[in-house]
Amino acid sequence: MHRPAFLCLFLALAALMPPASPEARAQTLDVDHRPLAHAAIQRGVDFLRQAQQPDGSWTPGPGPAVTGLVVALLLDQPDIGPKDPAVARGVDYLLSRVQADGSIRDGAQGILANYNTAICLSALSRLPDHPEAVRAVAAAQAFLIDLQWKPGMTPPGGAPINADHPFFGGAGYGRHGRPDMSNTQIMLQGLHDSGLDPEDPAFARALTFIARCQGIDDNQYFPRGTLVNDGGVIYATSINGEHPEIPVSYANPQAVDEARAGRPVSGLRGYGSMTYAAFKSFAYAKLAPDDPRVRGAQQWIQTHYTLDQNPGMPEAIGQQGLYYYYLTHARALHAWGHPTLTLTDGRTVHWAAALTHRLSSLQNADGSFVNTDGRWMENDPVLVSAYAVTALQHAAR
């Protein structure tokens, strides 16, 4: 068999591989990289410990979400438990932000309601023996499901939602604007971590929204040519509430100006953080390996694999969202369950070892991480270190 034909057959078979067993996952890191990962994690944990505020929070500016990220990663450390002083202070801070409507945020304002609640839900779900946390988890689940765009809801200044509406199934920062892939995958992360059944209608609705953001043949929601048909996933089905029918991708930032000028948008590209987030969401929803959505995202990942930048983004802005990309990269490939990726050029990548090597090389002497491009708060070493340590933990599992 000629090599190109053999490669195509091999990749087709790889796309049909079922999730790996727990025993296979245990071999994700080799004996050389496992100590490297654990050392980097420990340095990151040490940095985060000293960065905790007197009130128990970490980077409280956007709300309790960053605190939730740190509490979750601390609880995921085998030698750290709920009675650890830093964890206990962090949990108390999160619980102090629980609102009467079930959300977990600062005050009653709707800004960042989904983002803060979902991340804090993930953290508190790690405390099954804490009665107050258990109550908060149930209320937060209900809040997120209620917040998700579904029939019967009406966005500000817009038409009522139905199953064909661009907002359907998605989640945004709150009810004040359009949904996006990032908030939708964060919502699903919280629901997944807290044990919501993947057969729940909230998952099905979210998958509808995600699929409409993906460039595959089966997605005929937008006119052909609007999205690049390569399996990648864009940011949102709507540029904003005023133009709900016009999709947007940060990989094509110039298209925003085109859309606002009233010109048709075409060739929107998917990019790394959103495509891996979709791939992870498909795994959480237990889609079959031969599902076109799963195969499309996997093909994109095999074609665009890199750790040098957020793939799919223009090189000039490829460092934007880099650590968020590392986080979704690690969570997605861990959920997929295979220790290696076979790329379209024939190379085999041990993804966890490669990610561990990359992140270890980027860690600062004090154990922190920070992005040179500060967009999306990635100039905050606490947030970025939480992303990086969580990614390393998934690589080391």
pLDDT tens, the chain, 397 aa long = 343 443 343 344 344 444 444 434 444 677 778 999 999 999 999 999 999 999 999 999 999 999 999 999 999 999 999 999 999 999 999 999 999 999 999 976 667 999 999 999 999 999 999 999 999 999 999 999 999 999 999 988 788 999 999 999 999 988 778 999 999 999 999 999 999 999 999 999 999 999 999 999 999 999 999 999 999 999 999 987 777 888 999 999 888 888 777 777 899 999 999 999 999 999 999 999 999 999 999 999 999 999 999 999 999 999 999 999 999 999 999 999 999 999 999 999 999 999 999 999 999 999 999 999 999 999 999 999 999 999 999 999 8
Q: Which of 188, 236, 207, 221 is nearest to 294 (CA)?
A: 207
> What pLDDT was estimated at residue 116?
97
Whole-number Å distance between alpha carbons of 341 and 51? 36
Q: Which of 255, 253, 254 is nearest to 222 (CA)?
A: 255
Segments of the chain assigned E as strands: 340-342, 348-350
**What's the half-sphere exposure (Cβ side, CA atoms, 13 Å) at 219?**
29
> What pLDDT was estimated at residue 393?
98
N- to C-terminal Cα separation, the chain: 38
The encoded tokens of residue 195 equal 């044990």
**What's the half-sphere exposure (Cβ side, CA atoms, 13 Å) at 103?**
21
The encoded tokens of residue 116 equal 């803060």
Task: Tell how far CA 82 is from the center of its chain.
Answer: 25
> What pLDDT was estimated at residue 3?
39
